[in-house]
Amino acid sequence: MADAALPTRDRVEGYFKELNNWGRWGHDDQLGTVNLITPAKQAQAQRLIKKGRTVSLARDVIPRPVYMYHVTFPSKRERVDVVLDRFDMVYHGFWITHVDALCHVGWDGELYNGRSFVDSLTTEGALWCPIDPIFERGITTRGVFLDVAAGRKEGYVTVGHPVTPRELDEAERRAGVKVEPGDVVVVRYSPTELLRARDFATYSRDELAEAHRLMADLRLVGSLRRSRRPRRCPRGRPRRPG
């Protein structure tokens, strides 16, 4: 694949005004484009079912990079000797299957529908756009699989060469499908093969960050609506950020 001309910084920053859904479903909406999954869309998806076979999108959990291991030095408690350890799991990475809530990333201090990023999050969870509204509604719709990696000579998307709109169009043509409003798009860019190409430990922090951003452009999807000024987040019970 020939190197595509990447947009300028000013052009990318313009996306945040041009591709903007703030206010489209009301200023109190916390679902975003999940609203496009209407009952009619769900009924359409159900009519496509032929075999009813369940296909998992999960990856096997492996010790690295999923787990972080912490061990304390031995210590003494009166007549008792003790040592403790702890396992943490890194969710926002390459291996653990998860859904990012709309509070996961802000831009210029704002979240979806113009709420303040700082005022919307606490150590106990999110006050605005947590994952809960999406889980309570559920996501059941038509899935469209676009194999971008199959169009790369390496067999996977490489660092420094992000997925482009033209590649998505080409993946559509190869699969003979057309993405419609309310679809869930599953894009294969093969991060597993990307990391297997080199020892994970040899990747720099910047390279890992770039790998995590490979799909960022795919999230810049929405209608051409201008943004509105932010309103303060209403106080309430903290919820999970997802």
- Per the structure, the complete domain to which residue 153 belongs is given by 15-58+97-219
Residues 109 and 175 in one domain: yes
User: In whole angstroms, what is the distance from residue 179 CA to residue 168 CA?
Assistant: 10
**Cα dihedral: 86, 90, 91, 95 (round 10):** -120
φ/ψ of 80, rounded to 5, equals -105, 130
Across 228-235, average pLDDT: 38
Residue 181 lies in a domain: yes
User: In whole angstroms, what is the distance from residue 207 CA to residue 23 CA?
Assistant: 36
Residues 75 and 175 in one domain: no
Residues 28 and 86 in one domain: no
Across 11-36, average pLDDT: 94
Residues 184 and 82 in one domain: no
Residues 103 and 84 in one domain: no
Residues 87 and 204 in one domain: no
Cβ–Cβ contacts within 10 Å for residue 93, how many? 14
User: In whole angstroms, what is the distance from residue 225 CA to residue 29 CA?
Assistant: 16
Burial of 184 (0-12, 13-18, 19+ CB in 10 A): middle
Residues 154 and 101 in one domain: yes
Residues 175 and 124 in one domain: yes
Compute CA 138 distance to the chain's CA centroid, rounded to the nearest angstrom.
16
Name the band, by pLDDT with cuts 50, 70 and 90, for residue 228: very low
Read off the DSSP letter of residue 4. Answer: P
160 has a pLDDT exceeding 90 = no
Q: What is the overall mean pLDDT for the chain?
A: 79
Number of domains in the chain: 2
89 has a pLDDT exceeding 70 = yes
Residues 23 and 135 in one domain: yes
Residue 139 lies in a domain: yes
Residues 122 and 132 in one domain: yes
The pLDDT of residue 239 is: 55
Name the band, by pLDDT with cuts 50, 70 and 90, for residue 194: low
134 has a pLDDT exceeding 70 = yes
The type of residue at 234 is: P
